[in-house]
Structure 1
């Protein structure tokens, strides 16, 4: 975690940034809610779940995850919520948490679906990531684009939903496609490595799964996508964002050791505005990449309205202006802002979310 030794000058700069940080979010959420609810929630340790790799020996994985632990694994309530609404699709996922705050052991190699093939056993991640990928409601035969995919956890979720019955080369005839994109070269290498470690080799051999390295924020990048404009049934855009929890965790860790966290010292209110421009450009690309009647899921790890509802509103305005200039474009965008109304298990999701103007905010401690 980047940090530097505290000096009086740096401490003053860090304190000023922290004060500005608090003021920015108090303005959005109100002083009482920010200081008594949201900031304390962001300060808590991340509680991870384990996504069991269904392309490996799941029972072996469950056994070693429980090995030597004095607490019990349990299935997340939110997954039960998804299963009631998505049926067999979400039913192909297996996600467990610990009843305590203990961490999961590192993933290990387990027997894969094919002879002499091994894959990594599980992926530890925030359950909100599993939820976001699952809500896209991916099904076999879908052509899916994960626009900002690194390090790959959501792509692994999507792959398990796209290829739920993959057991042999002959059975991989469902025509499902997953393209996972990451522009940053180092992050793309990590993404590629992770996909190859978790997914069966046959998926790469027949190009059912492919890692891309494209700048999704450029205006013409949609023409560089393998399936081109309108070529995808569903697109996941987990956009780069402020990630306030990361900033808060870095600040608290550095403070406890008498140091200054770069993340907090360098934070400025203008960062959200700059990120929102990139997020809007990425969202515009995904809307052009998806087919008529397809779905795009826009997600961030930020609680800034500027990076969430603000991006959606700006994109809708930009689309309106573009359609005025190009009268041949007749497609329209429908924002599904009432996610909870589509879920039969609404009471379960209510524990973790609230609806904003255009989105559903999900907070899982």
Structure 2
């Protein structure tokens, strides 16, 4: 009997039917499996596909990839020459050199003077070429047909009418035309524009937030930001981007995702360099830091952009601010790895304050407003501190309001003629252009300050070799979107200068 029991399969003996098990598609089973990273991806699929169209699948694929691309910022307080030499031996190239080289090439093309009557000569050549083509058509037709035949003549005339376009001379097009790049030429929202009243509605996700028992329509929350759609803002073009001589940035060419090695400790006991997302350098470059500038980073943790500003060696005063003690500790730790203490004592300070309530009026002429946002790339890879956790839904919905309040305070603090750069690492037009629009209106109405927005489209052209810009849906700022060969970002930035 015992031997017989051993030969019986265990699952046949101990089989217990489950009468009330839910299928995999049941809401209770689905809810158990949805993580905050998956919730973030579902939200982005719902939202960004409407904003970026066919481009979204490529952006999505790049953000989910692990081969994130970086820029190395050389530490001027360590062994600069040795560090630059070692980075160049790795195959890294200077971002400033790339920009200057491409800029010279563009300027040279623009400087070419066409001889007088050049356009008329081209027109006459095209006309002559068309006549030659027509003559050749007649010659070819006469070889294979009898012109005296009425039926043949009718066929020839009909074919000539149908196929005439195939014999027209080809008009040459530029590479830019073939690429079909769509850019926004009118970057001013006018009250008379019929589209202005629905500016932000185009980007509001139509579906409900996932992972909630009582669904909340995000469109209802964001209706508030359409109130600023009728506020007219002056736009001014900028043709050049200034690279400070002492700001040494290195990266690898397009498609090369080589990782920078761990930095060494130099003769000053400081690290040789640090790395940033390649798009993160653009907000600091947009500030156009000059000797004697007084700089404020309102939301500075972990400190990378502040340190980059310090590496220009141009600042008379630099202040890194953040709200939480834990974030202040991160700034302190980072700064002491790269900055000499005697430098900190004279011109660099770390403050802990709510950026919405900083009151240092009339002090700063350069302010960076790198606000808290949905951190689109981070939330797809990290569970810790993920803003798409169920417990942080209200916080996420209030982000645009918080961002707007911080930016309004920055616009109030900057001195006349001063520059404010607003930046995020999200693809959301509501957190980007939407916040800029609303903040500029509120700053004018509440504090009587007026700003002009700087259109940097022309200044950024030399960087299109390395960065993938997608400004077609924007009115004010610029955005770097990730792609497989240029996998950095997303990073939105908007430059504003106070004129009143």
Q: Is the TM-score greater than 0.5? A: yes
Q: Per the alignment, do residues 159 and 10 of structure 1 end up closer, same or farther by CA in structure 2, a change over 3 Å counting?
A: same
Partner of 1:172: none
Question: How many Å separate the matches in 2 of 1:246 and 1:82?
Answer: 34
Partner of 1:247: 379
In the alignment, which of 351, 358, 379 is matched to residue 222 of structure 1?
358
Question: How many Å separate the matches in 1 of 2:61 and 2:96?
Answer: 23
Q: Per the alignment, do residues 215 and 81 of structure 1 end up closer, same or farther by CA in structure 2, a change over 3 Å counting?
A: farther
Question: How many Å separate the matches in 2 of 1:77 and 1:162?
Answer: 16
Q: Per the alignment, do residues 272 and 27 of structure 1 end up closer, same or farther by CA in structure 2, a change over 3 Å counting?
A: farther
* Equivalent runs, 1:315-326 vs 2, <5 Å: 315-323=439-447
* Equivalent runs, 1:323-338 vs 2, <5 Å: 323=447, 329=448, 331-336=449-454, 338=455
1:353 aligns with 2:493: no
* Equivalent runs, 1:1-365 vs 2, <5 Å: 9-12=31-34, 18-30=41-53, 32-35=54-57, 37-44=58-65, 45-62=67-84, 65=87, 72-76=91-95, 80=99, 85-86=240-241, 89-98=243-252, 100-112=256-268, 118-163=269-314, 176-206=316-346, 208-217=347-356, 221-223=357-359, 228-250=360-382, 266=390, 273-323=397-447, 329=448, 331-336=449-454, 338-341=455-458, 343=459, 346-349=461-464, 351-355=467-471, 356-363=474-481, 364-365=486-487
Question: How many Å separate the matches in 2 of 1:289 and 1:151?
Answer: 23
TM-score by length of 2: 0.56
Question: How many Å separate the matches in 2 of 1:210 and 1:361?
Answer: 30
TM-score by length of 1: 0.76
Write 1 or 2 for the structure with the bigger share of strand. Answer: 1
Superposition deviation, residue 144 in structure 1: 0.6
Is the 8 Å Cα contact of residues 75 and 274 (structure 2) preserved in structure 1? yes
Is the 8 Å Cα contact of residues 470 and 480 (structure 2) preserved in structure 1? yes
Question: How many Å separate the matches in 1 of 2:97 and 2:355?
Answer: 31
Superposition deviation, residue 262 in structure 1: 5.9
**Structure of larger gyration radius:** 2
Q: Per the alignment, do residues 8 and 262 of structure 1 end up closer, same or farther by CA in structure 2, a change over 3 Å counting?
A: farther
Q: Per the alignment, do residues 94 and 64 of structure 1 end up closer, same or farther by CA in structure 2, a change over 3 Å counting?
A: same
- Alpha-carbon deviations, 1:161-184, whole Å to 9, x = none? 244xxxxxxxxxxx7000011112
Question: How many Å separate the matches in 2 of 1:78 and 1:135?
Answer: 17
- Alpha-carbon deviations, 1:246-280, whole Å to 9, x = none? 122348xxxxxxxx996656499876541111111
Superposition deviation, residue 9 in structure 1: 3.9
Give the gaps of 5 or more residues in structure 1.
1-6, 113-117, 164-174, 252-259, 324-328
SS where residue 293 of structure 1 aligns? Answer: coil
Superposition deviation, residue 78 in structure 1: 8.4
Q: Per the alignment, do residues 65 and 74 of structure 1 end up closer, same or farther by CA in structure 2, a change over 3 Å counting?
A: closer
SS where residue 236 of structure 1 aligns? Answer: strand
Cα RMSD for the two superposed structures: 3.0
Give aligned pairs, total: 312
Is the 8 Å Cα contact of residues 40 and 380 (structure 2) preserved in structure 1? no
Is the 8 Å Cα contact of residues 183 and 215 (structure 1) preserved in structure 2? yes
Superposition deviation, residue 63 in structure 1: 5.1
Superposition deviation, residue 76 in structure 1: 3.1
Superposition deviation, residue 91 in structure 1: 2.4
Is the 8 Å Cα contact of residues 374 and 387 (structure 2) preserved in structure 1? no
SS where residue 210 of structure 1 aligns? Answer: strand
Question: How many Å separate the matches in 1 of 2:333 and 2:392?
Answer: 34
Question: How many Å separate the matches in 2 of 1:292 and 1:20?
Answer: 40
Question: How many Å separate the matches in 1 of 2:442 and 2:367?
Answer: 19
Q: Per the alignment, do residues 315 and 157 of structure 1 end up closer, same or farther by CA in structure 2, a change over 3 Å counting?
A: same
Superposition deviation, residue 146 in structure 1: 0.9
Is the 8 Å Cα contact of residues 102 and 462 (structure 2) preserved in structure 1? no
SS where residue 21 of structure 1 aligns? Answer: helix
Q: Per the alignment, do residues 152 and 102 of structure 1 end up closer, same or farther by CA in structure 2, a change over 3 Å counting?
A: same
